[in-house]
């Protein structure tokens, strides 16, 4: 080993022949350190390919299948590329889901609910972050508690409360049926108890806690009240965290089927339309096919419908991916 | 002194006002149904034209859920067991993914986008449709033909040749089978670890370099302890996330029992048992993990 080092350093002192130089360059390239780096890169590439495969495969397979005609599913020789390319699956899914109107309704509802959630969670998060009072810790424990109770547990009482709505026991004789209206969802969103809202309260609290108190102190000295300070000083500085909360609220609300199905199952919304898609289609069938064939075509329809449901979100995600991926850093949730 | 007291009062008042939306929502839309759920679980519910009436049945619903319903105990044990197996796997996967995605390399943005994609795709109704679906069966056929190199049978045969102990073999096979589930449920956890990695002060690594630490030592002495509080955060998130998963078998059973034959009372009893079990697992995990979590500062 030391011999080798010696000859090399001596060799460097004398004039080098081209062959020697090439050999030396090779030696430099294949030092243990470089080899290790190469192995790490290869290993990383392997892991990345494997994981991307696991994530993308189902999606790509769905997309490929969505262009297949029914015979192609039964044809064992068809992989990925349809033999009978067709847009019929999409055409039928759009027709029987009444996609355009369902999309507009879903978009309006999701936007409205996620804005309400953003407003309520921001205000509540600020309250937890900046003010101290007896019972604050208990109330914050309540926020975390809402996260660990499975929604199925309170599903039935909630359902009955809205079925025979009596203003929470205040007006016993009035029994409105709020099921099938958006009221239950609106009430939940505006009181920070909607889908994963505890998490958003937590995010906003952490963000406000991390902000410097100087701005607020200055505003108070200038005579601004608590609310004025909050709206004109704190809110503009909290925009990064609010963007994150809004995006997650939007995605999770769009994907929610649990609450939408219980409280507004009869409304013309995308998830409901998708759930009823095959039923709507088969009702319209003039020639009754065998059940087996219907099941196969139904799954093709559901497949196209599913893609239509997630397409807006995937588009949103690709356009705004930076906000999603940097989300946790932006909110200062961690450090 | 008087001014101070006044200020304290005002602060308390402001806090109460700002958190009022949640307080109202918590009491009326959460605590009230929560208490009602517990009452329901001890009652028989009769729904009439003008509302519902309750009839106290003691532990009847719980006895029914535990001893009469054929599916419940098995599904409960399976779901909880699955959660206990999945949590460490998800944690390990997201931990190493975050370290991987934190390294500089070409195409890192694309890789991050793909890793996080499952969070966007987790649509309730789509997942529900994908459960018993004819089309999915044919998809799986496709998957097997495409991924010959990853087929389970081949792996099983290969592992047999290595003469591994049977129990270890079973575990490896189960882990491989679970791989897609693990990967698809790790998105948020990866983000949390990534943010954590970026919040580690570079000065720590610089100091280690001066001392001559290898990257292996750096990992165990700096990276791992600095991320350990987030391990706790992620364990809690993973457990909570599994509760709301539409593919959770027990959740489906609770739902179908509510609107099916055993009825509301039994379904609520099942939900209460599920909640208590999960809560216990959560507390035990927090108790064990928080012992060795390292807090900086």
Highest mean pLDDT, choosing among A8-22, A51-65, B115-129: A51-65
Choosing from A242, A275, A308, the residue where a domain stops is A275
| Residues 187-216, chain B, touching A (beta carbon < 8 A) | 191-192, 194-196, 198-199
Q: Which segments within chain B are labelled E, that is strand?
A: 43-48, 51-56
Same domain? For A47 and A159 the reply is no
Alpha carbon A88 to chain centroid distance? 29
Do A254 and A110 meet the contact criterion of CB atoms below 8 Å apart?
Answer: yes
Q: Which segments within chain A are labelled E, that is strand?
A: none
* Residue B145 pLDDT: 42
CA distance A153 to chain B (A): 5
* Residue A41 pLDDT: 84
CA distance A150 to chain B (A): 6
Same domain? For A175 and A254 the reply is yes
CB-based contact (8 Å) between B14 and chain A?
yes
Q: Does any domain span residue A288?
A: no
Over residues A117-176, the pLDDT tens digits come to 999 999 999 999 999 999 999 999 999 899 888 888 888 888 888 888 877 767 666 778
Residue A230 belongs to a domain with what CATH number?
1.10.3720.10
CA distance A17 to chain B (A): 37
Choosing from A259, A275, A291, the residue where a domain stops is A275
From chain A, the residues in CB contact with B125 under 8 A are 257, 271, 274-275, 306, 309
Nearest alpha carbon to residue B62 among B79, B35, B75, B43:
B43
Over residues B30-82, the pLDDT tens digits come to 999 999 999 988 988 877 766 777 888 888 889 888 888 888 899 898 888 88
Would the pLDDT of A10 be above 60?
A: no
- CA distances, A91 to each of A67, A272, A281, B69 (Å): 11, 18, 12, 44
* Residue A289 pLDDT: 53
Do A288 and A210 meet the contact criterion of CB atoms below 8 Å apart?
Answer: no
- Residue A285's φ and ψ, nearest 5 degrees, are -65, 130
| Residues 131-160, chain B, touching A (beta carbon < 8 A) | 133-136, 138-139, 142-143, 145-147
Same domain? For A25 and A142 the reply is no
Q: Does any domain span residue A319?
A: no
Same domain? For A33 and A156 the reply is no
Q: Nearest 10 degrees: CA dihedral of B36, B39, B40, B46?
A: -100
DSSP state of A284: T
Q: Does any domain span residue A110?
A: yes
For range A184-190, the mean pLDDT: 94
User: Of residues B47 and A333, which shows the higher confidence score?
Assistant: B47
Which contacts qualify for A137-144: CB closer than 8 Å, 24 or more apart? A139/B19, A139/B22, A139/B23, A139/B26, A140/A205, A142/B22, A142/B26, A142/B30, A142/B31, A143/A192, A143/A198, A143/A201, A143/A202, A143/B22, A143/B26, A144/A198, A144/A202
Q: Extract the residue ranges of chain B whose pLDDT is less than 50.
A: 1-5, 134, 136, 140-150, 297
CA distance A88 to A57: 23
Can you give the residue range of the structural domain that contains A51? Answer: 2-74
User: Of residues B253 and A332, which shows the higher confidence score?
Assistant: B253
Same domain? For A110 and A151 the reply is yes
Q: CB count, 10 Å around CB of A105?
A: 18
Over residues A300-313, the pLDDT tens digits come to 888 899 999 999 99
Would the pLDDT of A110 be above 80?
A: yes
3-state SS assignment for residue B95: helix
Same domain? For A189 and A228 the reply is yes
CB-based contact (8 Å) between A32 and chain B?
no
3-state SS assignment for residue B55: strand
* Residue A335 pLDDT: 55
Same domain? For A133 and A200 the reply is yes
Same domain? For A45 and A156 the reply is no
- First CA to last CA distance, chain B: 34
Which contacts qualify for A299-302: CB closer than 8 Å, 24 or more apart? A299/B133, A299/B134, A299/B135, A299/B136, A300/A65, A300/A66, A300/A68, A300/A70, A300/A73, A300/A89, A300/B135, A301/A89, A301/A92, A301/A93, A301/A96, A301/A277, A302/A274, A302/A277, A302/A278, A302/B129, A302/B133, A302/B135
* Residue A295 pLDDT: 65
For range A185-198, the mean pLDDT: 92
Q: How many domains does chain A have?
A: 2
3-state SS assignment for residue B45: strand
* Residue B152 pLDDT: 59
Q: Nearest 10 degrees: CA dihedral of B65, B70, B76, B81?
A: 150
Same domain? For A37 and A127 the reply is no
**B126 with A310: Cβ contact below 8 A:** yes
CA distance B265 to chain A (A): 9
Convert B249-287 to b/e letters by CB count within 10 Å (16 or more is b): bbbebbbebbeeebbbbbbbbbbbbbbebbeeebeebee
Same domain? For A7 and A139 the reply is no
Same domain? For A256 and A127 the reply is yes
DSSP class per residue in B116-173:
HHHHHH--HHHHHHHTT-HHHHHHHHHHHHHTGGG-HHHHHHHHHHTT--HHHHHHHH
Do A238 and A211 meet the contact criterion of CB atoms below 8 Å apart?
Answer: yes
Q: Does any domain span residue A89?
A: no
- First CA to last CA distance, chain A: 47
- CA distances, A156 to each of A159, A168, A263, B256, B265 (Å): 5, 15, 11, 12, 9
- Residue B97's φ and ψ, nearest 5 degrees, are -65, -40
Output the 3-class SS for A57-96.
HHHHHHHHHHCECHHHHHCCCCCCCCCCECCHHHHHHHHH
* Residue B154 pLDDT: 64
* Residue A291 pLDDT: 53
| Residues 145-204, chain A, touching B (beta carbon < 8 A) | 146-158, 160-161, 164, 168, 175, 187-188, 190-193, 196, 201
Over residues B270-289, the pLDDT tens digits come to 989 998 988 898 889 888 88
Same domain? For A156 and A45 the reply is no
Give the residues across from B53 on adjacent strands.
B46
* Residue B181 pLDDT: 82
- CA distances, B171 to each of B82, B165, B175, B177 (Å): 13, 10, 6, 10
Q: Does any domain span residue A328?
A: no
Among the partner-chain residues B18, B47, B196, the one whose CB lies closest to the CB of A334 is B196
On average, the pLDDT of chain A sits at: 84
For range A272-294, the mean pLDDT: 71
Choosing from A224, A245, A275, the residue where a domain stops is A275
CB-based contact (8 Å) between A133 and chain B?
yes
CA distance A43 to chain B (A): 10
Q: Does any domain span residue A269?
A: yes
* Residue B147 pLDDT: 43
| ipTM score of complex | 0.81
* Residue A123 pLDDT: 96
Q: Does any domain span residue A123?
A: yes
């Amino acid at each position: 080993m030391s011999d080798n080092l010696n000859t090399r350093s001596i060799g460097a002192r004398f004039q080098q022949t081209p062959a020697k130089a090439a050999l030396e360059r090779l030696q430099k390239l294949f030092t243990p350190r470089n080899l290790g780096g190469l192995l790490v890169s290869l290993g990383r590439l392997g892991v990345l390919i494997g994981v991307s495969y696991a994530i993308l495969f189902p999606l790509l397979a769905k997309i490929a299948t969505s262009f297949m005609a029914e015979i192609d599913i039964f044809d064992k020789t068809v992989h990925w590329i349809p033999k009978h390319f067709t847009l019929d699956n999409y055409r039928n899914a759009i027709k029987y889901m009444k996609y355009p109107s369902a999309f507009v309704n879903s978009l309006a509802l999701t936007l409205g609910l996620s804005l309400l959630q953003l407003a309520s969670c921001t205000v509540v998060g600020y309250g937890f972050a900046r003010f101290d009072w007896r019972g604050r810790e208990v109330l914050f424990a309540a926020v975390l508690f809402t996260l660990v109770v499975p929604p199925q547990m309170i599903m039935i009482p909630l359902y009955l409360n809205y079925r025979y709505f009596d203003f929470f026991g205040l007006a016993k004789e009035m029994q409105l049926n709020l099921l099938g209206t958006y009221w239950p969802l609106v009430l939940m969103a505006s009181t920070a108890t909607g889908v994963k809202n505890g998490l958003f309260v937590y995010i906003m609290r952490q963000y406000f806690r991390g902000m410097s108190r100087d701005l607020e102190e200055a505003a108070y000295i200038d005579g601004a009240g608590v609310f004025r300070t909050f709206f004109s000083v704190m809110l503009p500085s909290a925009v990064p965290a609010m963007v994150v909360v809004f995006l997650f609220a939007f995605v999770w609300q769009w994907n929610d089927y649990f609450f939408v199905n219980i409280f507004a199952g009869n409304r013309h919304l995308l998830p409901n339309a998708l759930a009823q898609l095959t039923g709507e289609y088969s009702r319209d069938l003039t020639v009754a096919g065998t059940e087996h064939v219907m099941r196969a075509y139904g799954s093709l329809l559901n497949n196209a419908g599913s893609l239509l449901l997630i397409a807006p979100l995937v588009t949103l995600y690709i356009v705004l991916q930076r906000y999603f991926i940097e989300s946790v850093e932006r909110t200062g949730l961690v450090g | 002194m008087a001014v101070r007291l006044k200020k304290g009062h005002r602060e308390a008042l402001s806090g109460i006002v700002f958190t009022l939306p949640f307080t109202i929502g918590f009491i009326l839309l959460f605590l009230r149904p929560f208490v009602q759920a517990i009452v329901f679980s001890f009652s028989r519910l009769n729904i009439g034209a003008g509302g519902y009436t309750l009839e106290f049945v003691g532990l009847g619903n719980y006895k029914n859920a535990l001893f009469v319903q054929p599916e419940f105990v098995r599904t409960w044990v399976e779901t909880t067991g699955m959660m206990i197996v999945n949590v460490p796997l998800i944690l390990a996967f997201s931990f190493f993914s975050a370290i991987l995605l934190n390294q500089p390399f070409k195409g890192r943005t694309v890789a991050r986008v793909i890793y996080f994609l499952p969070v966007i795709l987790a649509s309730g109704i789509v997942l529900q449709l994908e459960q018993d679906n004819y089309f999915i069966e044919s998809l799986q056929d496709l998957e097997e033909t495409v991924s010959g190199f990853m087929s389970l049978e081949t792996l099983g045969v290969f592992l047999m040749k290595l003469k591994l102990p049977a129990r270890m073999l079973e575990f490896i096979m189960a882990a491989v089978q679970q791989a897609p589930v693990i990967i698809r449920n790790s998105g948020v956890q990866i983000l949390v670890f990534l943010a954590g990695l970026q919040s580690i002060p570079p000065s720590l690594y610089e100091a280690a370099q001066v001392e001559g630490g290898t990257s292996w030592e750096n990992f165990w002495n700096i990276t791992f302890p600095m991320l350990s509080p987030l391990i706790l955060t992620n364990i809690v998130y993973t457990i909570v996330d599994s509760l709301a998963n539409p593919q959770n078998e027990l959740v489906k059973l609770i739902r179908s029992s509510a609107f099916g034959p055993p009825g509301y009372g039994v379904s609520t009893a099942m939900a209460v048992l599920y909640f208590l079990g999960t809560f216990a697992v959560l507390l035990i995990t927090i108790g064990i993990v928080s012992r060795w979590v390292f807090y900086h500062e």
